[in-house]
Amino acid sequence: MKPVFFIVAFFMGSLLSFAGNKLISAEKVHSLSREELIERFRQMKVPSVIMEVTNGIDVYELMYVSSFPDGREVKASGILFVPAGVDKPLPLMVYHHGTRLRKQRKIDLTGEQFICSAFAGDGYIVAWPDYFGIGKGDGFHPYQHAETEAQASMDMIRASREFLDELGVKRNEQLFLTGYSQGGHAAMSAHKFMQERHPEEFKITASAPMSGAYDMTGVQSEVMFQPYEYPMYLPYILLGYYEVYKYNPLPTRLMRAPYDTLIPRIFNGINDFDDVNSLLPEIPGDIFTDEVIQRYRSNDTTFHLRKLLEDNNVYDWKPESPMMLCYCKADEQVTYKNSLVAYKAMKKRGTKHLKKTHAGPKFDHNTCAIYASVYTKYFFDSFRKGSKYGRRGNSWKRFLLDMSKMSVNKQMRKARKEKERKAAEAEAGKSR
């Protein structure tokens, strides 16, 4: 009997070992020296005194195993930014990116990837989960779904830790969470699920959700029945939730013609924002049948769609780790009221170490991302320097950042006046 026992024991041990492994593969895709990063900062007109570069970076693409809430295994991908040539233990930060319609994503270190490079260039290991269905992941992306966003984040951390151990990269105990737009919702979701379900495994140092739609059935839903420049968000949620919930009736049964047949075709993982928005009505709710509109507006508690959206609100809970909420009042895509609602609800629940930061009163959604990320870095840096609950950062750097904001606001006003002038000239030309 002993040989059989040892065979079974070995087999079970192998299964347990495999169950704990998340990493499938890792491939180096970029390397930048400190000098090359500094040059990129110069080209982007980012003063080194505002965002310091202390090291180069190596960039890897990771494939890892994750799972849906029902236990279905799914393959997911992500990017890992690793400080190069640093021998001391480093903090790990998860950056949750904004909305993507195209399934494939490049690794070009622009946009939000540039933000990750900036953190990694100053000693942060940065993990970027693609979420399910984005990058090289399986299936259709469950857009704005809290649990799968959090699951992708947690398993990206697990896979990153495995790979960093293989590389011999030292880590300290600090774990930071942030993200912008959808990434703000994802960062909030990740903080909530880590705290509530895995508090021993993930000890969060601090988080900084930025400009996220945390209150989807409340303040963010105000755009559903008024002219809105980005109507694609609404059907994206409907299709994404079906990937998780397999709800009835089918999402297309909630839509009026021609959107019931058009929308499944245009959300194909190839079209981008402009492609999809141009084919949708100016008022997002106009994709719905009259019955759906009536039931939603009447706050029908039995209406399944409203219940699904409510289940993915992430504002009304109590973070135990320090958190900073960043937003901009001129944000045309995600109303700043989401952050204020979350702040008020969390304070009411007794949250102690909660800050809110208005990154710029005149900034649109994309411009806000840059400045909110800088404020987030200053907040996280304060923990690296020994703060227990987080500070807003060096006053001199914040002063220089304010000067930069004044310059950008001036450029934006000039561009807006020029646009208005051209529009007036075009209108005058039509009347002649």
**Structure confidence at residue 235 (pLDDT):** 97
Whole-number pLDDT of residue 421: 72
Mean pLDDT for each consecutive 10-residue tract of the chain (432 residues)? Answer: 35 38 96 95 82 96 96 96 96 98 94 97 98 95 98 98 97 98 98 98 98 97 95 97 92 96 97 97 96 90 90 98 97 98 98 96 93 96 96 81 72 66 69 61
End-to-end, the C-alpha distance of the chain in Å comes to 100
Q: What is the pLDDT of residue 414?
A: 65
Model pLDDT, residue 418: 67
| Residue 146 confidence (pLDDT) | 98
* Residue 400 confidence (pLDDT): 77
pLDDT for position 98: 98
Asked if 367 and 359 touch (Cβ cutoff 8 Å), the reply is: no
Q: What tokens does 396 get?
A: 């001199």
pLDDT attached to residue 361: 87
Q: What homologous superfamily does CATH list for 21-216+317-392? A: Alpha/Beta hydrolase fold, catalytic domain (3.40.50.1820)
- The pair phi, psi for residue 80, each rounded to 5°, is -120, 120
Structure confidence at residue 113 (pLDDT): 97
Same fold, 21-216+317-392 and 223-311: no
Please tell me the predicted confidence (pLDDT) of residue 405: 77
pLDDT at 398: 80
> What pLDDT, on a 0 to 100 scale, did the predictor assign at position 394?
80
Sign of CA pseudo-dihedral 110, 112, 134, 55: positive
Locate the domains of the chain by residue range: 21-216+317-392, 223-311
Torsion of CA 130, 135, 141, 143, to 10 degrees: 40
The enclosing H or E element of 423 equals: helix 395-431
Residue 12 pLDDT: 36
Q: How does strand 56-67 pair with strand 23-32? A: antiparallel
As a whole number of angstroms, the distance between CA 79 and CA 95 comes to 10
Yes or no: say if 282 and 231 are a contact pair by the CB < 8 Å rule.
yes
Chain-centroid distance of CA 330 in Å reads: 19
CATH number of the 223-311 domain: 1.10.260.160
pTM above 0.85, yes or no: yes
